[in-house]
């Protein structure tokens, strides 16, 4: 019997990541009987969609595949009878990310895409959109899987499942992939080696993991020594998105767990903040650098001879996201039972977090969905900050859905990267005002601020 033809829809199809997504599908052409790929974007992203969409068509043609690649600004047309929907959109485009980073930094706070005030504001903008997408999916493709790698991935996934009711949602992040690669490098193994066993648990951009070899010997402490001892600080480079400042070796060693790169924002906050303030002064925040990188990428993508993913895409940060999404789809479609790190419902796998909350955890991807590998409990040194972070996520999601100013202020206050009191309120107010075009749920709160004389001046933050 012939395998069914599948229809894949990518919302945010004009993203610079799309060539990696297409490459991932091409590499799995024998596993995925693709009939159609629809790349969807909005009017503001039309030019990028056309550029990257034409490149996607060239890539498919160069691979001698008969897949139909469609470009559209009509989301509903694309979603009709979709088998899989992937989301990689950015509400407000990179200009919104620049605000997310520069406004907190002006107040002397961490300015980062998914952590601190910036991460919460990104969630405020994005969650209503993912819920609107789900409403369309309920009508147009009620059996489709939703694979989300729009950041902040964990919170967007939790909103989709717990507020949108879309149980067939899987959240994705590239950070664990980078740590797996680093562990292989530490152990002198090639990238393609699959002899190590990894076990991850926590939240998106806030997880820990352990590693074993094929003989059952745990390697976690050995890798900690190799990566985090002060004398080894130049040996292993981490992510593009997070500066590799030295972490406290004694603190990491005490946990006997390997931390996520993003823990630097919580474990060595002052060092990370000073580094970001230097970039702020030079107009070299990560968002400003990425905006320039994207500009260069799209100039490359315009080349009518380019029919493969260029190496320069790795400078963008977030590399491997798209390929991982392709592997999730291949594993769902073929019951491959690939072990991956995904954001899914906890269901008791992490004993320290609410049963219905979304966790980032190692799981087998089966045809009926992900099956988590049980983690159990964390040490108190981790349990406390993990539970605090989950409380912040829950408050942020609720505020994003309801537009409740009080809930938003509670989220800002609970977040350890936003100091409580008057400062939290000032930062929240400025970020709400600066994002008023993307926060319809906060209309009443923003109108009240404006009536009270609150104003937002982008020049104060060095924003053009």
Terminal C-alpha separation, the chain: 58
- Evaluate whether residue 22 is within a structural domain: no
Mean pLDDT, the chain, whole residue set: 94
- Per-residue confidence (pLDDT) for residue 319, from 0 to 100: 58
* Alpha helices by DSSP H, 63-115: 75-79, 93-106
- Evaluate whether residue 417 is within a structural domain: yes
- Per-residue confidence (pLDDT) for residue 322, from 0 to 100: 74
Half-sphere exposure of 132 (CA within 13 A, CB side): 12
Residue 444 reports pLDDT greater than 90? yes
Three-state secondary structure readout of 137-159 = HHHHCCCCEEEECCCCHHHHHHH
Structure tokens, 254? 């005490």
Residue 338 reports pLDDT greater than 60? yes
Which single residue is written with the structure tokens 């108190």? 380
pLDDT band at 244 (very low <50, low <70, confident <90, very high): confident
pLDDT band at 242 (very low <50, low <70, confident <90, very high): confident
Least confident of 37-46, 189-198, 234-243, 302-311: 234-243
pLDDT band at 1 (very low <50, low <70, confident <90, very high): very low
In the 8-state DSSP scheme, what is residue 82? -
Contact criterion met (CB below 8 Å) for 280 and 287:
no
- Per-residue confidence (pLDDT) for residue 323, from 0 to 100: 79
- Evaluate whether residue 166 is within a structural domain: no
**pLDDT, mean of residues 289-317:** 86
- Evaluate whether residue 243 is within a structural domain: no
- Evaluate whether residue 447 is within a structural domain: yes
Q: What percent of the chain has pLDDT over 90?
A: 88
Q: Which domain does 419 fall in, by range?
A: 397-461
Residue 283 reports pLDDT greater than 70? yes
Residue 311 reports pLDDT greater than 70? yes
- Evaluate whether residue 454 is within a structural domain: yes
**pLDDT, mean of residues 31-46:** 97
Quote the pTM value.
Answer: 0.95
- 265 counts as catalytic: no
**pLDDT, mean of residues 16-32:** 94
pLDDT one-digit tens code per residue, 57-83: 999 999 999 999 999 999 999 999 999
Q: Which residues fall within 8 angstroms of residue 158, CB to CB, at 6 or more apart?
A: 343, 357, 358, 393, 394, 397
Structure tokens, 460? 């104060």
The strand ranges marked E within 174-314 are 197-203, 206-212, 258-259
Residue 266 reports pLDDT greater than 50? yes
- Nearest C-alpha neighbor of 316 from the set 22, 16, 10: 16
- Per-residue confidence (pLDDT) for residue 321, from 0 to 100: 62
Residue 138 reports pLDDT greater than 60? yes
The values of phi and psi at residue 143, to 5°, are -105, 5
pLDDT one-digit tens code per residue, 292-302: 989 999 999 99
Q: Domain count of the chain?
A: 1
Contact criterion met (CB below 8 Å) for 329 and 32:
yes
The values of phi and psi at residue 453, to 5°, are 95, 5
Which single residue is written with the structure tokens 């972070």? 389
The single residue of 262, 301, 456, 461 carrying the catalytic annotation is 262
- Evaluate whether residue 135 is within a structural domain: no
Residue 3 reports pLDDT greater than 90? no
């Amino acid at each position: 019997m012939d395998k069914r033809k599948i229809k894949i829809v990518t919302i945010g199809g004009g993203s610079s990541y799309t060539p990696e997504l297409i490459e991932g599908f091409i590499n799995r052409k024998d596993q995925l009987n693709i009939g159609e790929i629809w790349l969807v974007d909005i009017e503001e992203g039309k030019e990028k969609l056309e550029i990257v969409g034409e490149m996607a068509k060239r890539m498919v043609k160069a691979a001698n595949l008969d897949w139909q690649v469609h470009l559209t600004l009509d989301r509903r047309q694309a979603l009709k009878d979709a088998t899989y929907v992937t989301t990689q959109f950015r509400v407000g485009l990179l200009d919104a990310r620049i605000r997310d980073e520069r406004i907190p930094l002006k107040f002397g706070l961490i300015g980062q895409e998914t952590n601190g005030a910036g991460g919460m504001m990104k969630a405020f903008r994005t969650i209503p959109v993912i819920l609107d997408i789900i409403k369309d999916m309920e009508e147009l493709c009620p059996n489709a899987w939703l694979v989300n790698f729009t950041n902040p991935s964990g919170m967007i996934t939790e909103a989709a499942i717990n507020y949108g009711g879309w149980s067939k949602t899987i959240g994705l992040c590239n950070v664990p992939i980078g740590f797996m690669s680093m562990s292989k490098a530490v152990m002198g193994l090639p990238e393609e080696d699959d002899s190590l066993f990894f076990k991850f648990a926590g939240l998106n951009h806030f997880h820990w993991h352990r590693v074993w070899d094929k003989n059952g010997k745990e390697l976690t402490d050995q890798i900690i020594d190799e990566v985090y001892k002060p004398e080894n600080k130049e040996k292993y480079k981490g992510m593009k998105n997070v500066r590799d400042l030295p972490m406290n070796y004694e603190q990491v060693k005490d946990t006997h767990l390997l931390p996520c790169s993003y823990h630097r924002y919580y474990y060595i906050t002052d060092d990370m903040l000073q580094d970001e303030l230097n970039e702020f002064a030079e107009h070299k925040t990560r968002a400003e650098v990425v905006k320039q990188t994207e500009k260069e990428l799209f100039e490359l993508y315009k080349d009518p001879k380019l029919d493969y993913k260029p190496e320069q895409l790795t400078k963008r940060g977030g590399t491997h996201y798209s390929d991982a999404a392709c592997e999730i789809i291949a594993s769902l479609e073929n019951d491959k039972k690939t072990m991956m790190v995904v954001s899914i419902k906890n269901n008791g796998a992490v004993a320290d977090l609410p049963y219905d909350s979304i966790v980032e955890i190692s799981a087998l991807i089966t045809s009926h969905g992900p099956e988590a590998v049980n983690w159990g409990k964390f040490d108190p040194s981790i349990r406390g900050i993990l539970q605090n972070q989950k409380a912040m996520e829950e408050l942020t999601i609720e505020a994003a859905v309801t537009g409740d100013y009080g809930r938003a202020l509670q989220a800002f206050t609970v977040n350890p990267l936003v100091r409580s009191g008057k400062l939290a309120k000032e930062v929240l107010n400025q970020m709400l005002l600066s994002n008023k075009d993307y926060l319809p749920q906060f209309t009443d709160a923003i109108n009240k601020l404006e009536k009270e004389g609150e104003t937002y001046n982008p020049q104060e933050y060095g924003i053009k």
